[in-house]
Amino acid sequence: MGAAGGHGVLRPHAEQAFAGELAALAAADDRPRPARWRLSPWAVATYLLGGTLRDGTVITPKYVGPRRIVEVAVSTLATDRALLLLGVPGTAKTWVSEHLAAAVSGDSTLLVQGTAGTPEEAVRYGWNYAQLLARGPGQEALVPSPVMRAMAGGTIVRIEELTRIPADVQDALITILSEKTLPVPELGQEVQAVPGFNLIATANDRDRGVNELSSALRRRFNTVVLPLPATAEAEVDIVSRRVEQIGRSLDLPPAPDGAAEIRRVVTVFRELRDGVTTDGRTRLKSPTGALSTAEAISVVTGGLALAAHFGDGVLRPGDVAAGIHGAVVRDPAADRLVWQEYLETVVRERDGWKDFYRACREIPA
């Protein structure tokens, strides 16, 4: 049970994909729940971190990382402060926010995508102009934003990439988060948030400086930093789990013995990211791209598709070589040399990496 499949959509929401786990948790959960929460904070944390319930139901881990991070995130949502998930790309910020919303509110779909063009209507409300012209300003003409709907319904709303949103639109959030109300002067009304309402924002560490959060807004948030996986083992574990879930949702046959290639992808990514080989002996230049865990997951998934459709179903060096090359060489001018140097000084010399070296050499530069 668990991941996608059988829902007739390409990507079911977390609350659909893991409906069985959420129901089992709700049934087993005898701890106090904050107003309008579907689960207690303990059960939400268990949903994210995984565990086995007393009745034997296995809850799969969604987030692999320090338990404390999840505990702080979940308990923040039970306070009057909003939650800001911060980290470099691919550290599961979006993923964690979706699962938190699914577990707390049973609905992860109230979502504002932050971009440089995000208008104030996306945070407050807009108008349906046909209605407005036909009948004038009224309740029927009002188009509530996801934030307004979450306030009225007492649920979690998510804002993706908060720091990309223009400063004046960010400012609209300050009143909402501090006063917990959203005035609609055109109707002489306001929407007051009911208990259960809270907001999870994500922001990219590397965007710092794009639209730095104002200190007034920042004070409304508890910030939780999601780290890169601490060890290669942890990262291999994350990639293996996600690849298995994604593979199932794409109906790819499970690949036997994929572990060696997964470890290889993770090793290459970590060494180039850290700028040094695993044994600490050779310094390396880092490429311009992030080489995140999320990218490792796509490289392996892509490799599995190659192996399934054009190979013998076994994940081999040749199935991941092109994907790795593509992830590393983002900016041809800067990254091609970094890759060549890594290939010739590290990959070529490493025991058991001959096939991978050959496969990489065959990729047209």
Ligand X SMILES: Nc1ncnc2c1ncn2[C@@H]1O[C@H](COP(=O)(O)OP(=O)(O)O)[C@@H](O)[C@H]1O
User: Which residues form the interface with ligand X (CB under 6 A)?
Assistant: 63-65, 87, 89-95, 202, 229, 238, 242, 293-294, 297
For the chain, the first-to-last Cα distance in angstroms comes to 43
Chain residues binding Mg ion by CB under 5 A are 93-94
Q: How far is the CB of 249 from ligand X (least distance, A)?
A: 11
Specify whether the CB–CB gap between 357 and 328 falls below 8 A: no
Give the residue from 23, 146, 159, 70 showing the smallest Cα distance to 15: 23
Specify whether the CB–CB gap between 266 and 232 falls below 8 A: yes
The rounded distance, in Å, linking the Cα atoms of 211 and 207 is 8
Residue nearest to Mg ion (CB): 94
Q: How far is the CB of 186 from ligand X (least distance, A)?
A: 36
Binding-site partner at residue 324 among ligand X, Mg ion, none, CB < 5 to 8 Å by type:
none
Binding-site partner at residue 17 among ligand X, Mg ion, none, CB < 5 to 8 Å by type:
none
Residue closer to ligand X by CB (options 164, 242) is: 242
Residue closer to Mg ion by CB (options 162, 193) is: 162
Q: How far is the CB of 225 from ligand X (least distance, A)?
A: 11
Q: How far is the CB of 112 from Mg ion (least distance, A)?
A: 13
- In degrees, to the nearest 5, what angle opens at C-alpha 270 toward C-alphas 264 and 273? 140
Binding-site partner at residue 92 among ligand X, Mg ion, none, CB < 5 to 8 Å by type:
ligand X
Sign, Cα dihedral of 33, 34, 38, 42: negative
Residue closer to ligand X by CB (options 105, 293) is: 293
Residue closer to ligand X by CB (options 76, 293) is: 293
The rounded distance, in Å, linking the Cα atoms of 86 and 296 is 20
Q: How far is the CB of 175 from ligand X (least distance, A)?
A: 27
Sign, Cα dihedral of 84, 204, 232, 245: positive
Locate all alpha helices (DSSP H) within the chain, ordered by sequence: 14-17, 19-28, 41-49, 67-77, 93-105, 129-135, 146-153, 167-179, 215-218, 232-249, 259-274, 293-310, 317-328, 332-342, 354-361
Residue closer to Mg ion by CB (options 111, 305) is: 111
Binding-site partner at residue 245 among Mg ion, ligand X, none, CB < 5 to 8 Å by type:
none
Binding-site partner at residue 145 among ligand X, Mg ion, none, CB < 5 to 8 Å by type:
none
What is the widest separation between alpha-carbon atoms in the chain?
Answer: 76
The rounded distance, in Å, linking the Cα atoms of 26 and 121 is 35
Q: How far is the CB of 68 from Mg ion (least distance, A)?
A: 22
The rounded distance, in Å, linking the Cα atoms of 70 and 116 is 29
Binding-site partner at residue 220 among ligand X, Mg ion, none, CB < 5 to 8 Å by type:
none
Binding-site partner at residue 165 among Mg ion, ligand X, none, CB < 5 to 8 Å by type:
none
CA distances, 55 to each of 24, 45, 127 (Å)? 9, 18, 50
Q: How far is the CB of 236 from ligand X (least distance, A)?
A: 12
Binding-site partner at residue 326 among Mg ion, ligand X, none, CB < 5 to 8 Å by type:
none
Compute CA 329 distance to the chain's CA centroid, rounded to the nearest angstrom. 24
Specify whether the CB–CB gap between 22 and 60 falls below 8 A: no
Give the residue from 65, 145, 151 showing the smallest Cα distance to 105: 151
Residue closer to ligand X by CB (options 25, 243) is: 243
Residue closer to ligand X by CB (options 95, 125) is: 95
Q: How far is the CB of 293 from ligand X (least distance, A)?
A: 4
Residue closer to Mg ion by CB (options 158, 325) is: 158
Binding-site partner at residue 325 among ligand X, Mg ion, none, CB < 5 to 8 Å by type:
none
Residue closer to ligand X by CB (options 113, 340) is: 113
Specify whether the CB–CB gap between 326 and 300 falls below 8 A: no
Specify whether the CB–CB gap between 307 and 314 falls below 8 A: yes
Q: How far is the CB of 365 from ligand X (least distance, A)?
A: 29
